[in-house]
Structure 1
Amino acid sequence: MTAPPHALRLRSGAGRGTLLAAILASGMVFLDSTVVNVALPRLGAELEATVSGLQWTINGYLLTLAAFVLLGGALGDRFGRRRVFLLGVVWFAVASVLCGLAQDTGWLVVARFLQGAGGALLTPGSLSVLQSSFHPDDRGRAIGAWSGLAGVTTALGPFLGGWLIDALSWRWIFFINLPLAVAVILAALRWVPESRDENASRSGGKRFDVTGALLGALGLAGVTYALIDAPARGPRSLPVLLAALVGVLGAVAFVLVERRRGEAAMLPTGLFTSRLFSALNLFTVVVYAALGGFTFFFPVYLQNVVGWSAVRTGLATVPMTVLLLIGSARAGALSARIGPRLPLTVGPVIAVGGLLLLRRVGPGTSYWVDVLPGVLLFGLGLTLVVAPLTASVLAAVADRFAGVASGFNNAASRVGGLLAVAALPLLVGLSGTGYEQPAELTHAYRGALAWCAGLLLAGAVTAGLLVHRPPRQAPPS
Structure 2
Amino acid sequence: MTEVSARPGSPPAAKAAGPTLLIACGAAFIAFLDLSVVNIAFPSLARDYPGTATTTLTWVVSGYAVAFAAFLTPAGRFADALGRRRMFLLALGGFALTSLLCGLAPTAGWLIAGRLLQGVTAALMVPSALGLVLSVTPREKIGAAIGAWSAAGGFAAVVGPALGGGLVEAFSWRAVFVINVPVALVLILAVLRISVPDTRTPGSALPDPLGTAAVAIGLGGLVAGVTEGQRWGWADPATLACLGVGLLLLLAALIRSRAHHNPAIAVDLWRSRPYALANAGSFVFGAAMFAWLLAGPLFLDAIWGYSVLASAGALTVGAVAAMVTATVAGRITTPGGRRWAGVLGAVLFIATVAWMSTDAFGPEPALWSAWIPAGILGGGGLGIVVTVLGTAAASSLPPQQFAAGIGMNLTARQVGGALGVALLAAIFAANPDQPLTAFHTLFALCAGITVLAAGVLALPAHPAAAAGTAPAATQ
TM-score when scaled to structure 1? 0.79
State the distance in 2 between where 1:454 and 1:329 align. 27
SS at match of 2:334: helix
- Following superposition, the deviation at residue 377 of structure 1 comes to 1.8
Paired residue for 1:204?
A: 205
2:154 and 2:322 in contact (8 A); partners too:
no
Paired residue for 1:84?
A: 87
Q: Deviations over 1:273-324 (max 9, x none)?
A: 3444333322211111111112223223323443222222222222222222
SS at match of 2:350: helix
Q: Deviations over 1:208-266 (max 9, x none)?
A: 2433332223223333343445445543333333333212211211211221226x324
1:35 matched to 2:47: no
- Following superposition, the deviation at residue 343 of structure 1 comes to 3.1
- Following superposition, the deviation at residue 422 of structure 1 comes to 3.4
State the distance in 2 between where 1:95 and 1:199 align. 31
Of 158, 163, 171 in structure 2, the residue corresponding to residue 160 of structure 1 is: 163
Change (3 A) 1:233 1:42: same
State the distance in 2 between where 1:51 and 1:44 align. 7
Q: Deviations over 1:74-110 (max 9, x none)?
A: 3334444443222211221232234445677765543
Change (3 A) 1:165 1:311: farther
Paired residue for 1:246?
A: 245
State the distance in 1 between where 2:91 and 2:80 align. 14
Paired residue for 2:66?
A: 63
State the distance in 2 between where 1:275 and 1:392 align. 10
SS at match of 2:37: helix
SS at match of 2:234: coil
Paired residue for 1:352?
A: 350
Moved more, 76-85 or 33-42: 33-42
Paired residue for 2:412?
A: 412
How large is the RMSD of aligned CA atoms in angstroms?
Answer: 4.2
TM-score when scaled to structure 2? 0.79
State the distance in 2 between where 1:424 and 1:374 align. 19
State the distance in 2 between where 1:273 and 1:54 align. 42
State the distance in 2 between where 1:232 and 1:157 align. 24
Query: 1:254-273 residue pairs with structure 2 within 5 A?
Result: 254-261=253-260, 264-273=262-271
State the distance in 1 between where 2:146 and 2:395 align. 19
Letter in structure 2 aligned against 1:372: I
1:445 matched to 2:445: no
Q: Deviations over 1:185-213 (max 9, x none)?
A: 3344455666253723xx434xx243333
State the distance in 2 between where 1:398 and 1:329 align. 24
2:394 and 2:405 in contact (8 A); partners too:
yes
Paired residue for 1:220?
A: 219
Structure 1 unaligned spans of 5+: none
State the distance in 1 between where 2:194 and 2:331 align. 34
Of 447, 452, 458 in structure 1, the residue corresponding to residue 452 of structure 2 is: 458
Paired residue for 1:374?
A: 374
State the distance in 2 between where 1:142 and 1:389 align. 13
1:292 and 1:420 in contact (8 A); partners too:
yes
Letter in structure 1 aligned against 2:177: F
Of 261, 275, 295 in structure 2, the residue corresponding to residue 297 of structure 1 is: 295
Structure 2 unaligned spans of 5+: none
Letter in structure 2 aligned against 1:457: V
State the distance in 1 between where 2:187 and 2:397 align. 34
Change (3 A) 1:139 1:209: farther
